[in-house]
Amino acid sequence: MYKAATRAWRTTKDFMPQTIALFPAGKPVRDLQGLPASLGRIGALELRLATHKRDIRKAQKLRYKVFYEEGGAIADARSALTRRDLCAFDRICDHLIVVDHDFVNRFGRRKPKVVGCYRLLRQDVAERHGGFYSASEFDIAPLLARHASKRFLELGRSCVHKDWRAKRVLELMWRGIWTYVRHHRMDVMIGCASLQGSDPALHAATLAWLSKSAAADDSWATHALPSRRIAIDATQGADLEPRKAMAKLPPLLKGYLRVGAKMGAEAVSDHQFGTTDVFIIMPVAEIDPRYITYFSTPESEGRLAA
């Protein structure tokens, strides 16, 4: 879920959601379905749902900086020209952003800056516009069919600016996700999580440990697409201590595991983004109750708004 590669299954127009029109940049382009745009603050940091095209563009600029300039992903011509991580799915997703209102630019002026972002795609929206992004890497159709009565939410394109990678930014985003989940009554969160480096040999022991310690049961099992599948050798991680294994994981994947997320059976190499991707499944009913309490009690909401 840390990123999702820029692959358009259809043209940009095909993914234009019904709630979006080509308004001028200053006018709202998102119907938040009853949620407020501002979901709370911690000091100068505000958690918001993007309502304007300019907000989404700022999130795309942040993603470009993190994925391409810092992470070494390979940009196509359009992304390289605009210096934005452009993806057709952006037009149908909701975008959760963290804004620092105390940021001072190089001219000494205070100007709000987007320092964190997440992309949220509900199943009902995905089904109207070609499906989930995850389906470009993993065979998720059987999973959706087995749980036809449940509502799925895909998390993706998550990143935080390197100068703001602190606990409170991640906590803000997770509180926003939980608010969104409750409001839309979502049952399951899914998405792709990434390990840096597309050579599976680099992650053999870590993948083996994940497949053993965080494997989804048969009801939630999900496989990679045959054309992209990386087999995981479970014997590779036999001697890897849990603490050392967790230390090798990126913060986002580590966070998913702590709240009780499970992993699909296989991995995928993403050569464009230089990552090895795994599929994450988080049934809301199985999330560790401690985290639900923390992110949803009146006390924590009060701290968020403070």
Tens of pLDDT, residues 62-101: 999 999 999 999 999 999 999 999 999 999 999 999 999 9
Helix axes 167-184, 289-296, angle to 10 degrees: 90
Give the tens place of pLDDT for each residue, 160-192.
999 999 888 988 999 999 999 999 999 999 999
- For the record, the structure tokens of 159 come out as 């990143």
Q: Residue 293: pLDDT band by 50, 70, 90 thresholds? A: confident
Burial of 159 (0-12, 13-18, 19+ CB in 10 A): buried
CB atoms within 10 A of CB 183: 12
- The whole-model pTM stands at 0.86
What is residue 151's DSSP assignment?
Answer: P
What is residue 201's DSSP assignment?
Answer: G
Rounded average pLDDT over 10-22: 33
| Mean pLDDT of all residues belonging to the chain | 86
Domain map of the chain by residue range?
13-305
Distance separating alpha carbons of residues 81 and 117, to the nearest angstrom? 22
pLDDT at 141 over 60: yes
Determine the CATH number of domain 13-305: 3.40.630.30
Question: Pairing state of beta strands 138-139 and 223-224?
Answer: antiparallel
- For the record, the structure tokens of 168 come out as 């409170």
